[in-house]
Amino acid sequence: MGLTFFITGTDTGVGKTVVTAGLAAAAFEAGNSVCVYKPIQTGVLEDEAGDCETVRFLTGLPIETVCSYRFDPPATPWVADSHDEISVDLLKATLNALQKQYDVVLVEGAGGVRVPVTATVEMIDLIWLFDAPALVVTRPDLGTINHTLLTVEALMHRKINILGVVVSGFPLANKEVAVETLPRVLEQYLPVPVLRWLPSTKLTQSGLNVALFQELWSALVNQP
pLDDT per position as a tens digit, 69-96: 999 999 999 999 999 999 999 999 999 9
Q: What is the pLDDT of residue 204?
A: 46
More confident residue, 12 or 159: 159
Percent of the chain with pLDDT over 70: 96
Domains contained in the chain, CATH given: 3-217 (3.40.50.300)
Q: What is the pLDDT of residue 207?
A: 55
In angstroms, the Cα distances linking 164 to 20, 84, 216 are 14, 33, 11
Mean pLDDT of 4-29: 93
Active site members: 38
Taking the whole predicted model, whether its pTM rises above 0.85 is answered as yes
Q: What is the pLDDT of residue 205?
A: 44
Q: What is the pLDDT of residue 192?
A: 97
Q: Dump pLDDT digits (tens) for 95-148.
A: 999 999 999 999 999 999 999 999 999 999 999 999 999 999 999 988 899 999
In angstroms, the Cα distances linking 24 to 3, 64, 112, 168, 210 are 12, 10, 21, 16, 9
Q: Dump pLDDT digits (tens) for 57-72.
A: 888 899 999 999 999 9
Q: Dump pLDDT digits (tens) for 170-223.
A: 887 777 898 889 999 999 999 999 999 988 754 444 557 788 899 999 999 987
The pairing of strands 194-199 and 104-112 is unpaired
Give the neighbor-by-neighbor strand order of the sheet with 64-71.
64-71, 34-42, 104-112, 3-9, 134-138, 162-170, 194-199
Q: What is the pLDDT of residue 1?
A: 65
Q: What is the pLDDT of residue 80?
A: 96
Looking at this protein, which amino acid is placed at residue 26?
A: A
Q: What is the pLDDT of residue 46?
A: 74
Q: Dump pLDDT digits (tens) for 24-49.
A: 999 999 999 999 999 999 998 777 77
Count of alpha carbons within 13 Å of 105, Cβ hemisphere only?
24
